[in-house]
């Protein structure tokens, strides 16, 4: 029997949550003896490249914008180079769907929807917003299957687009539980981790929608009452703005932005709290990683997958969006009156469990 060929399409291999999900899936499919290819628009960001199995074929389309990959994707699909084509992130999904014509190829198209599309489009003007929603309604219908990373994302997608219900399913993101566990136990030396300070940690891209400005302002209020430090791992276009804010609030000796690290888990495991300030989130990979590390969570109640994963506050405190004082109060209260250490069953997020769910979708499509 011929091995099933799977191709993933991404903008890059930067250290984003969606990119990490694809890396985990790709490695998982290699272990299941699938042939795996990853197409990336460009390699300007490639932090995750070294985490790929050597058996994966990595192709750099070498275009500075995802939309410029359209012709390449169209030719790739028509030549039947792959049995399953999996696209991830909205701009890639629209490009892949536009290029896809089921009458001219035997390839099956799967789209992965990671975020709340209705919130994603709010950052654009009304004209571009309407264009994007129209494109989603027209092109997403061409997919053979759409995988949403949470039930909240699925509901949001139905709200925005008129889709065939049977095509859209929910599969959570895979997390490499054993790997996170092992990396969380790696020893390290850092001047703040000496039991003198209480440590807050946060991880994510330094972009506006991740809410790190709100976290820093809240931290400034916490610092007035407690001897605490804050570390934010990540990189992005808001770095200079956040550094200026830290300086304005006179927090230079209490807040660190060390950039991207290949192992945030050793820090998460040794921190008192993980703060998740994102204003819009479809899933929240770092929440599961924090559960694995047995570190408590405080998150902004952004809807989406955050409420779902925390079960409306059962597994971590939730605070309103854009409320500096509420976030500060939640942090102070957690130190003064700690909640119980209750964590969910993390095994449902294991890579093998999630791969098996993807395999079920793939086998059903290939049988159809």
Mean pLDDT over residues 162-177, rounded? 88
- In whole angstroms, give the CA distance from residue 50 to residue 139: 33
301-324 pLDDT, tens digit per residue, is: 987 789 999 988 899 999 999 999
34-84 pLDDT, tens digit per residue, is: 999 999 999 988 889 999 999 999 999 999 999 999 999 999 988 878 999
> Any idea how long the chain is?
368
271-293 pLDDT, tens digit per residue, is: 999 999 999 888 999 999 999 99
Residue 130: other Cβ atoms inside 10 A: 12
The average confidence (pLDDT) of the chain is 92
Q: 302 versus 265: which is more confidently predicted?
A: 265
Residue 136 burial class via C-beta count within 10 angstroms: exposed 0-12, middle 13-18, buried 19 and up: buried
- In whole angstroms, give the CA distance from residue 260 to residue 267: 13
pLDDT at position 31, please?
94
The answer to whether the Cα torsion of 19, 359, 116, 120 is positive or negative is positive
Radius of gyration of the chain (CA): 21
The answer to whether the Cα torsion of 29, 35, 40, 45 is positive or negative is positive
**Could you tell me if 174 and 247 are in contact, meaning their C-beta atoms sit under 8 angstroms apart?**
no
Q: CATH top-level class for 5-174+350-367? A: alpha beta
Closest to 11 (Cα-Cα) out of 43, 40, 39: 40
- In whole angstroms, give the CA distance from residue 100 to residue 150: 25
Residue 224: other Cβ atoms inside 10 A: 8
pLDDT at position 183, please?
97
Whether residue 1 has pLDDT greater than 70? no
List Cβ<8 Å contacts ≥24 apart for 155-163: 156/116, 156/117, 156/118, 156/119, 156/304, 157/113, 157/117, 159/118, 160/117, 160/118, 160/133, 160/136, 161/117, 161/133, 161/136, 161/137, 162/137
Residue with tokens 């264009």: 131
The model's confidence at residue 196, banded by pLDDT at 50, 70 and 90, is confident
Domain over 177-347 is classified CATH 3.40.50.2000 = yes
**Could you tell me if 233 and 197 are in contact, meaning their C-beta atoms sit under 8 angstroms apart?**
no
Residue 44 has φ and ψ, to the nearest 5°, of -60, -30
Which DSSP symbol is given to 350?
Answer: B
Structure pTM? 0.92
Tokens describing residue 313 = 């506050």
**Which sequence spans correspond to the domains of the chain?**
5-174+350-367, 177-347
Which DSSP symbol is given to 2?
Answer: P
**Could you tell me if 13 and 49 are in contact, meaning their C-beta atoms sit under 8 angstroms apart?**
yes
**Residue percentage of the chain with pLDDT more than 90:** 74
């Amino acid at each position: 029997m011929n091995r099933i060929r799977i191709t993933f399409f991404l903008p890059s291999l930067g250290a984003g949550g969606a990119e990490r999900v694809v890396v985990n899936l790709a490695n998982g499919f290699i272990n299941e003896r699938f042939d795996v290819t990853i197409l990336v628009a460009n390699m300007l960001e490639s932090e995750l490249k070294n985490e790929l199995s050597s058996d994966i074929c990595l192709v750099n389309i070498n275009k500075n914008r995802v939309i410029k990959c359209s012709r390449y994707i169209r030719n790739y699909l028509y030549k039947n180079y792959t049995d399953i084509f999996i696209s991830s992130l909205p701009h890639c999904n629209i490009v892949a769907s536009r290029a896809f014509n089921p009458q001219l190829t035997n390839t099956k198209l799967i789209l992965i929807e990671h975020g709340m599309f209705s919130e994603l489009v709010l950052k654009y003007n009304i004209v571009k917003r309407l264009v994007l929603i129209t494109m989603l309604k027209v092109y997403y219908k061409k997919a053979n299957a759409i995988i949403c990373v949470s039930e909240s994302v699925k509901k949001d997608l139905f709200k925005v687009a008129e889709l065939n219900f049977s095509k859209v399913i929910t599969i959570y993101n895979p997390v490499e539980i054993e790997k996170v566990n092992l990396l969380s136990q790696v020893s390290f030396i850092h001047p703040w981790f000496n039991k003198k300070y209480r440590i807050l940690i946060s991880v994510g891209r330094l972009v506006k929608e991740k809410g790190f400005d709100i976290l820093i302002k809240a931290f400034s209020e916490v610092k007035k009452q407690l001897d605490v430090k804050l570390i934010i791992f990540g990189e992005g276009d808001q770095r200079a703005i956040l550094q200026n804010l830290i300086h304005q609030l006179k927090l230079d000796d209490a807040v660190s932005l060390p950039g991207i690290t290949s192992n945030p888990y050793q820090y998460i495991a040794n921190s008192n709290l993980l703060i998740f300030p994102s204003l819009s989130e479809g899933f929240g990979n770092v929440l599961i990683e924090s559960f694995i590390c047995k570190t408590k969570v405080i998150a902004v109640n952004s809807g989406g997958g955050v409420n779902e994963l925390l079960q409306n506050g059962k597994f971590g405190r939730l605070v309103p969006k854009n409320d500096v004082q509420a976030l500060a109060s939640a942090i102070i209260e957690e130190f003064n009156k700690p909640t119980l250490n209750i964590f969910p069953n993390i095994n449902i997020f294991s890579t093998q469990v999630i791969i098996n769910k993807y395999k079920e979708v793939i086998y059903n499509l290939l049988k159809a």
